[in-house]
């Protein structure tokens, strides 16, 4: 099972195919950023309701950590641009890695 972290700034994409794949393959979706309301609407329109909205990437990682069980995958696959919260996708990736590392340091 997959716990998906998605969101950011939409570039006018059609998310209906994405929502269908999420419904088939994802245990829980954690949404953030400007696109969160739109993504939530598209998901609920397909009948998918296991959604949580958060305001930061750190909060998203923490929510995924609380949800995930042994053997499950936490996947950052935003489906959107990073520009609403970060200067680039690289910065968003570094922030994700740091949030995960912070969780690891907190478990010691």
CATH label of the domain that carries residue 43: 3.90.190.20
Q: What is the spatial order of strands in the sheet that 2-7 belongs to?
A: 51-53, 26-32, 2-7, 73-76
Cα separation of 90 and 82, whole Å?
9
Helix (H, G, I), strand (E, B) or coil at 36: helix
Domain span at residue 31 reads 2-106
Number of compact structural domains in the chain? 1
Q: Take residue 94 and report the two structure tokens written for it.
A: 């570094």
From the centroid of its chain, how far is CA 61?
Answer: 8
pLDDT tens track, the chain, 108 positions: 899 999 988 888 899 999 999 999 999 999 999 999 999 999 999 999 999 999 999 999 999 999 999 999 999 988 888 888 777 888 888 888 888 888 777 654
Q: Take residue 89 and report the two structure tokens written for it.
A: 């996708």
């Amino acid at each position: 099972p997959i716990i998906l972290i998605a969101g950011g700034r939409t570039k006018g994409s059609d998310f209906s195919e994405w929502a269908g794949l999420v419904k088939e393959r994802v245990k829980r979706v954690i949404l953030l950023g400007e696109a969160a309301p739109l993504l939530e609407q598209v998901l609920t329109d397909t009948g998918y309701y296991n959604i949580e909205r958060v305001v930061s990437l750190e909060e998203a990682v923490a929510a995924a950590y609380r949800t995930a069980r042994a053997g499950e995958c936490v996947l950052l696959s935003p489906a959107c641009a990073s520009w609403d919260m970060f200067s680039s996708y690289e910065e968003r990736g570094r922030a994700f890695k740091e949030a995960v590392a912070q969780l690891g340091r907190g478990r010691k």
